[in-house]
Structure 1
C-alpha cells in the first residue's frame, strides 16, 4: 500500500480528522500510513505526529491549557475571576468546595493566566449516588484569580468554548486535544515527543457508550487495524475536553477521566450543565449560543440564535433563523430591526432574545400532527409572500388547510397579529 507524504498526512487520517476526533495514542495503521516505522517508533514518531500536533492548535481548540499535571480548558472570565474546566481526580479534592493555590497555564506552560482560588467539585463525586462511578463524577471547575487575558498565538483574546447541552453524542465522531503521553498501539512512552514545541496533539474516535446513570461517556479504540476509532487518550490527557461538532461548530461534550487499552472514558458534560451554570452563569452552552452570520458557510439550524453588530445603528442585535433557501443557506440580516425571509428580529438583549425564541417555539407548526388540531390552538406562520411572522388561531377541531397569506381570516384560521419584538 503506497505511503503518502508526511506533510499532508495520509488520506485516511485527513478524512478521519475532518469528521472524527483527536487523541495521543494512535493505531498502528495510522502510524504506518503517515510514514512511521514500527521497528523504530522512537525515531519516527515525531515526524508522524507533527501534523496532528499542528492541528491541535486550530482556532477551535485555543481554550486548551495546563493545570496540575493535567490538561484543562479555559471557559471564560468575568474580569476578576477565571473559570477552568478540569477533572476532579487531578487534585483529589474531597469536598464539594475547597481552596486551591494552583495555577492555570497557557499552552507554553510558562505564562500564568490565573492563580489561586476555589475548586468546585460536582457533588456526586464525594457523595456518590447508586449507579455512579469514577468516570461519571470526574468533573470540577476552578474559579481562579485572573492574572492575564488568555490570548492565542496571534495575540488575540481566546473566545469562549461552547458546551454541549443536548443528548445526541452517541455514534458520532469525537476529537481529543491534550498534552498526554504519545504512543502507538496500546503502549505510551514518556520519552516520545516533538522535535520542538509542546507535546500536544490530536487523534480520533467515535462515541460508542453512555453509562453510569447516563453521566459517563466512552469512546472505543482500535489499536491495529484501519478504523475511525484510531486514537485514545493517555496519561497527561486527564481533564482534557472532548470535542464534537454540533450545529456546525466544535462543542465540548466530556472531560477525560481515563480509560483502558481499547477505550477512553469521561464525564458527560450535558448532564452537568445546571451545576456548571451555578458556578459560572456566563458559560456558553449550545442552546444559548449566539452564532455569527459567517459561521458554517451560512448554513444553520432553524430556531437558533444569531448576533449581528449592526453598522448602521451601532447596536448588537439578535435574530432567530426561521428559514433557509433551497441550497440550505441563509442570507443577510435586515438592518431596520424587522423580520425578513430568513430572520425574526428578537431585540438587543441576549437574555430577552432567548426568551423570545422560547415564545416562538411554543406555538404550533402547520405541518404538525398530519394537519389536525384542536380549536383555540395558536400556530405560527413565516409568511414567504410578505416576510412577516404571523400568528393564527385554529377555529375548529380536526383537519385544517392553508393559512391565508393576506393577513385575513378564513374558514380554518383566525388571523391574530404579526410577531414583532
Structure 2
C-alpha cells in the first residue's frame, strides 16, 4: 500500500515516567523565532528545519487513521521488506503491527505486517524502560528515506550530543507543552539537541538520560552547566519511538529511541533506550543493519 498523506496531529497528556516524545525548547530561541503571546506556534522554525535536514530522512510517523501516536526510524530493507525501529509501548498488550500505518517523512504510507518486541521489555515495569524497543516489518522496501542509516556501535555515549527527532507535541521550558504551541495545519517533525548526562545510572538499566537546562544552567538536575546550544530540547508527550542520533566519523547514527519523560519543563529529565548494547537483538531480526562508531 502506498499513499500520499495529509492529516492533523493530536496531543496527549504527560505524566511522570510516561511515554513522551516531543520537543520542548528554550524560551529564548522560541522568542527569537517569532514565538510570543498569540503566536505560540510560530517559534519552532529552527527545530523543524533541523528535523528536515537530509541526514534525518529516515524519520517515520505512526498513524492510527486519525492522528499520529508514535514515531519510528527506518533502518534498512531486505529484498522484500522494510524495517522500522520504534518503541515497544506503541503496541500496548497484544496489539500487532497493523495497529498503525507507517508514514515516511517524505509522505509515503507503508503497512506493517509483523512486530518484534524486545524480550526484556515488560510494559508493567519501569525497570525495563531501557529495553522499550520494537522492530516493525513493513509490507515492502522503503524507497524514499535516503541512505540506510547506521546504528551506533560505540560505548562512549556519556557526554555526547544527541539530536532528538520525532513528531510530538511542542512547548517551551517555562510553560511546558500545550496545544497552542503546535501548528495543526501540518504534520512536520521537529528536532532538538541535548547532552547525555547519564548512562545506566539511577534511572535504570540501558537508559541514556538528558535534562532540560534553562539558559543560565540553574535548573540542571544532572550537574551539567547549561544548554548544549540554542537548540537544547527535551521530550514531551506525543510520538514514541523516534530516534536520538549521534554524529560519528562515519556519518549520523541512531544511538537510542525516545522512551520516557517527566514534566517537560526546565529541570525535567528524559530517558532513551540505548541501541549500542542491543545490536545482536536487532541483527537477529534484520541481519542487514549498518553500524558506525
Q: Please confirm whether the aligned pair reaches a TM-score higher than 0.5, indicating the same fold.
A: yes
Other structure's SS at 2:276 match: helix
Task: Give CA deviations for 1:193-251 in whole Å, capped at 9, x if unaligned.
Answer: 24854242111210001126641111111245463253101222310100111225211
- Cα gap change, 1:232 to 1:112, in 2 (>3 Å): same
Structure 2 stretches lacking a partner, 5+ long? 1-20, 64-68, 218-225
2:215/2:227 contact within 8 Å kept: no
Aligned residue in 1 for 2:73? 73
CA apart distance, 1:264: 1.5
- Cα gap change, 1:45 to 1:99, in 2 (>3 Å): closer
Which has the bigger relative contact order, CA under 8 A and spacing at least 6?
2
Aligned residue in 2 for 1:170? 158
Other structure's SS at 1:237 match: coil
CA apart distance, 1:191: 3.6
CA apart distance, 1:142: 0.8
Task: Give CA deviations for 1:288-342 in whole Å, capped at 9, x if unaligned.
Answer: xxxxxxxxxxxxxxxxxxxxxxxxxxxxxxxxxxxxxxxxxxxxxxxxxxxxxxx
Aligned residue in 2 for 1:119? 115
- Cα gap change, 1:149 to 1:141, in 2 (>3 Å): closer
Aligned residue in 2 for 1:281? 287
Asked if residue 141 in structure 1 is aligned to residue 147 in structure 2, the reply is no
Matches within 5 A, 1:48-87: 48-68=43-63, 69-87=69-87
Other structure's SS at 2:256 match: strand
- Cα gap change, 1:180 to 1:23, in 2 (>3 Å): closer
Task: Give CA deviations for 1:34-86 in whole Å, capped at 9, x if unaligned.
Answer: 4433xx1x41432x211321221111100001124101101111131111100
Q: How many residues align?
A: 249
CA apart distance, 1:134: 3.8
TM-score, with normalisation over the residues of structure 1? 0.54
Structure possessing the higher radius of gyration over alpha carbons: 1
- Cα gap change, 1:284 to 1:248, in 2 (>3 Å): closer
Structure 1 stretches lacking a partner, 5+ long? 1-21, 153-157, 288-421
CA apart distance, 1:192: 2.5
2:48/2:189 contact within 8 Å kept: yes
- Cα gap change, 1:134 to 1:126, in 2 (>3 Å): closer
TM-score, with normalisation over the residues of structure 2? 0.76
Aligned residue in 1 for 2:190? 201
